[in-house]
Amino acid sequence: MSDAHARHLVTVWNPRYASDAMEAHLRVLLDWEAKSRRDEAGEDDVHVWWGKVRSNQRQRGMPHLSEVMQLGLDAAELDDNHETHLYITDYQSLYVADVQWIVTQDPRTTDAQHVPAYYDAMKLNCDCWFQIADIRLLVKDDLQGVITELGHLRNTRYADRPVSLYGGMVDLPLLVSRADGRRYFDVRERELYADNKLWARFDAEQGGVGALEASLRDDHVGNEAWSLLEPGAGRFIAMAERTVRDHRRDPAADLSPVMVGYGKALELQTNAILRAAMRTAPDAARWVKVEQHTARLPEALPLSLGPLARILGGERDLGDHLRQVLSDGAWFTNELAVILDRFAIEARNPASHGDIVARETIIRWRNRLLGVGGESVIGRVARVQRR
């Protein structure tokens, strides 16, 4: 089963059961991650159970339980490139969880230390339980952002219509698919962009930028383009922009880390576009030169800015394929390749190696990427999609 045709799940957490339900699960997950880093627990111990609570008012069983359980088998048995997502929302915020297993047996009887305490305290019964290995924040305190992000999902039990918050949240969890095959828990991406920490840890350490993300979406990039960004890309942009806004008036402040944040955002987005395009690539387009070696591009991803610029602008078979299958493919393989190359040489590479980049250079590149006084490079990259 390819990720493009994989099925996922959507559910809602009810604050009536626990006002801090998400925080309670994150605490358990991060506590076990910390134990694992101290060699007090194994990698398999890093998980938390999320229960699908059964209302006391509902007498009948969950009508699609067998289909939900099949997704649990898929999550456990398919290869490492497959992801099964559980999208979790309270309507204001949206998270995505990496599902490893789904069971009907209550884990409070066999694995209680991985279950948040409020399930027992409130004597909650659950139709099934999801074993979760990681959780990523997609949207924070932004109703419109939640609506837009869920609109990328199709409700498979409702004629494949887009998921809607209004009238569509019935018979939870929803069974959904997403055509873009987006991945959230790629191990190599986590190593590169989250310092090999859980994304849950990364989000906890880099919190407080939700309002800024909404401002960047509304005032610079635009709702459509922002919704197409990889979630990590939007977070890196917001973190970089927070540094600019906090220290712009301080002439002694070093703004070089801003270029690292924007560089990570560009890398994440460009790699995601290439990964999507490679799903239908002919064999000739898959072989590229990376540094001094020839490699198959799908396996070589993700790449940093320099190698990305070189393969976009210098591989004829790959370029022909990308221009055929991508919207705005000519710009992606020509102008963007030049932009990535110049940005890496002038700003990102020196900043990532600890050198101080001239403030004029930083502001010039920040304005160009964000779209201050002109077209946003970030926004245009986001709109490049596989046809």
116-165 tens-digit pLDDT:
999 999 999 999 999 999 999 998 888 888 998 999 999 998 889 999 98
78 pLDDT exceeds 70?
Answer: no
Q: Number of structural domains, the chain? A: 2
In a domain, 243, yes or no: yes
Question: Which helix (H) or strand (E) segment is 130 a member of?
Answer: strand 126-139
Give yes or no: residues 135 and 261 share one domain: no
Mean pLDDT of the chain: 91
**pLDDT bucket at 2, cuts 50 / 70 / 90:** very low
Pair (217, 328) in one structural domain: yes
Confidence tier at 300 by pLDDT (50, 70, 90) = very high
Q: Is 215 in the same domain as 257?
A: yes
Confidence of residue 3 (pLDDT cuts 50, 70, 90): low
Q: How far is CA 118 from CA 12, 21, 125, 137, in A?
A: 16, 8, 12, 22
Q: How confident is the model at residue 312 (pLDDT cuts 50, 70, 90)?
A: very high
Residue 187 lies in a domain: no
Q: Phi first, then psi: what are they for 29, rounded to 5°?
A: -60, -45
Amino acid, single-letter form, for residue 65: L
| Domain annotation covers residue 191 | no
Q: Which pLDDT band, with edges at 50, 70 and 90, does 1 fall under?
A: very low
Q: Which is more confidently placed, 17 or 342?
A: 342
Does residue 200 fall inside a structural domain? no
pTM of the predicted protein model = 0.84
For the chain, the straight-line distance linking the first and the last C-alpha, in angstroms and rounded, comes to 21
Tell me, yes or no, whether 173 and 210 share the same domain: no
User: Hunting for tokens 């239908």 — which residue is that?
Assistant: 280
The verdict on 124 and 50 lying in the same domain is yes
Choose among 310, 282, 313, 316: nearest CA to 296: 282
Say if residues 133 and 201 touch (Cβ distance below 8 Å).
no
Lowest mean pLDDT across 91-105, 199-213, 253-267? 199-213
| Residue range 268-288: mean pLDDT, rounded | 94
pLDDT the model gives residue 311: 95
Residue 278 lies in a domain: yes
Same domain, 238 and 347: yes
140 HSE (CA, 13 A, CB side): 18
Model confidence at 80, pLDDT cuts 50, 70, 90, reads low
Q: Residue 5's pLDDT band (boundaries 50, 70, 90)? A: low
Is the pLDDT at 7 greater than 60? The verdict is yes
pLDDT exceeds 80 at position 79: no
199 found inside a domain: no
CB atoms within 10 A of CB 350: 17
- Full residue range of the structural domain in which residue 47 is found: 3-177
Does residue 31 sit within a domain?
Answer: yes
Which structure tokens are listed for 347?
């700003």
Residue 193 domain flag: no
* pLDDT tens digits, one per residue of 15-53: 777 778 999 999 999 999 999 999 999 999 999 999 999
Summarize pLDDT for 212-252 with one digit per residue, the tens.
888 888 888 988 899 889 878 998 999 999 999 999 889 88
- Looking at the fold, whether 220 and 363 belong to one and the same domain comes out as yes
Q: CA-CA distance, 3 to 220, in Å (whole number)?
A: 31
Percent of the chain beyond pLDDT 90? Answer: 67
Are residues 250 and 306 located together in one domain of the fold? yes
Nearest to 33 by CA among 236, 206, 199: 199
pLDDT of residue 20: 87
| Residue 166 and residue 273 share a domain | no
Question: What are 53-71's pLDDT values in tens digits?
Answer: 987 766 677 889 999 999 9
